[in-house]
């Protein structure tokens, strides 16, 4: 169940980073270090809410693969936000890739759980990232 908790935490953290980017952009500000650190901390701490259901419906090998993908996107997005020389277009591209990753993982959870996301947090991530 640890992997499922890490997956839920990682997706949640990735969503936090995406939202922090758009909030900062709308205020014409850089992304705060506090928001980045919060997401990093969240990604490293398995969440219990939703983990049991996700663990029950997704094979451990697929969970491991999804966790690795999410971790890679989290690390990449944090690095992008901490790199002052990147253009806004480069940052935007990375954020859009992260949003696509969120939707892909949530789609996998839905596929193996009778087209239902098991928690409010995951349903909110689906909606806020405009997943199809």
Tell me the pLDDT of the chain averaged across its residues: 91
94, 120, 118: which is closest to 14 by C-alpha? 94
C-beta of residue 122 within 8 angstroms of C-beta of residue 113: no
- Residue-level pLDDT at 2: 85
pLDDT band (50, 70, 90) for residue 16: very high
Region 111-127: mean pLDDT is: 91
32-88 residue pLDDT tens: 999 999 888 888 888 877 788 888 888 899 889 999 999 999 999 999 999 989 999
- Residue-level pLDDT at 101: 93
Structure tokens at 23: 């909030």
80, 103, 81: which is closest to 15 by C-alpha? 103
100, 16, 3, 88: which is closest to 52 by C-alpha? 3
- Residue-level pLDDT at 82: 92
43, 29, 106: which is closest to 76 by C-alpha? 43
Q: Which residue reads 């996700």 in tokens?
A: 54
Flag whether pLDDT at 99 surpasses 80: yes
């Amino acid at each position: 169940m640890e992997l499922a908790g890490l997956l839920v935490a990682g997706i949640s953290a990735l969503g936090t980073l995406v939202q922090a980017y758009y909030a900062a952009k709308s205020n014409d500000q850089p992304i705060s270090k506090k928001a980045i650190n919060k997401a990093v901390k969240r990604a490293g701490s398995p969440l219990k809410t939703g983990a049991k259901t996700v663990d029950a419906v997704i094979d451990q090998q697929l969970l491991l693969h999804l966790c690795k993908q999410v971790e890679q996107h989290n690390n990449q997005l944090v690095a992008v936000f901490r790199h002052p020389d990147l253009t806004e277009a480069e940052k935007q591209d990375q954020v859009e890739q992260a949003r696509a990753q969120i939707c892909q993982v949530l789609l996998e959870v839905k596929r193996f759980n009778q087209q239902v996301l098991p928690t409010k947090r995951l349903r909110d991530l689906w909606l806020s990232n405009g997943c199809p």
